[in-house]
Amino acid sequence: AQSVTQLGSHVSVSEGALVLLRCNYSSSVPPYLFWYVQYPNQGLQLLLKYTTGATLVKGINGFEAEFKKSETSFHLTKPSAHMSDAAEYFCAVSYSGGSNYKLTFGKGTLLTVNP
């Protein structure tokens, strides 16, 4: 069984400040990990993913995340927040189970950026 825990349902930062959104997972098999962003009234958009290989992955809009197996974490960061980053962010896990494409999502973290 898989599960995802996103610490903090709401994170507020100032424009230009570091963004850190936390995600911990549990999986009995090697995971695939994802971060999605959802802007108001829009569908989820993939920010970045980890499947295999390099544990530090870079995504769109300056975001990156590092897979830390020992900590079962996949935290999302961005060095400098922009106003346009305000959105809901979801961490998700799947596993390398062949044709299994099912995702298990965290509860989401709402990011607000203050001017």
Interface residues toward another protein, by CB under 8 A: 4, 9, 32, 34, 36, 41-46, 49, 51, 90, 94, 101-108
The DSSP bridge partners found for residue 57 are: 65
What is the smallest separation between the CB atom of 106 and another protein, expressed in angstroms? 5
Closest CB to another protein among residues 18, 60: 60
Of 37, 31, 79, 78, the residue nearest 55 (C-alpha): 31
Write the DSSP string, 6-52: -S-SEEEEETTS-EEE--EEE-SSPEEEEEEEE-TTS-EEEEEEE-S
- Give the chain's count of helices (H) and strands (E): 0, 12
Closest CB to another protein among residues 80, 84: 84
What is the smallest separation between the CB atom of 85 and another protein, expressed in angstroms? 19
What is the smallest separation between the CB atom of 62 and another protein, expressed in angstroms? 19
Closest CB to another protein among residues 17, 105: 105
